[in-house]
Structure 1
Amino acid sequence: MLNCHDATFLLSQRLERDLSVTERANLRLHVTICRGCTNFERQLPTLGKAARAFASHDPGAEDSSS
């Protein structure tokens, strides 16, 4: 059985690669019984969107008024 650390890692990895059958089965089992990881799975698209927005942010653009 996966712990939460391994489960959240696999949830993130699932966005980057295809998980093996064993990884998918273990992940489904864990997420089914773990409310925290279920919430993380639900919030992952928003986290990704925020990370992309942060990565594309130009910090020099706001300092142009100085």
Structure 2
Amino acid sequence: MMLNCHDATFLMSQRRERDLRFSERMKLRLHAGLCRDCANFERQIPLLGEAAKRLAAKEDGHGV
């Protein structure tokens, strides 16, 4: 079963929190290989994570 974009981006986010199962990794690799938008999102996840950390630190008054 092929992933849709919603499921693919969910797994990309989950991968930052847990190890994906082999089947999840293979489905994600196939989808990202065929879907340019999801491949772009996958490349941007680290930047989004860093931006979220900076925003949280700023809101806590710690600044970065």
Q: Same fold (TM over 0.5)?
A: yes
Structure 1 segments of 4+ aligned residues over 3 angstroms from their partners: 58-61
Give 1:59 deviation, angstroms: 7.1
TM-score normalised over the length of structure 2 = 0.88
Matched to 2:44, the amino acid is Q
Q: Which residue of 1 aligns with 2:11?
A: 10
State whether structure 2 residue 48 is matched by structure 1 residue 47: yes
Return the index of the structure with the highest Cα Rg: 1
Within 2, Cα distance between the matches of 1:54 and 1:60? 10
TM-score normalised over the length of structure 1 = 0.86
Alpha carbons of structure 1 residues 19 and 59: separation in structure 2 relative to 1, 3 Å: closer
The one-character-per-residue Cα deviations of 1:8-66 (angstroms, maximum 9, x if unpaired) are 000010011000011001000000000000000010000000000001114768xxxxx
Runs (5+) with no aligned partner, structure 2: none
Q: How many residues align?
A: 61
Structure with the higher fraction of residues in helix conformation? 1
Aligned CA RMSD, in angstroms, stands at: 1.6
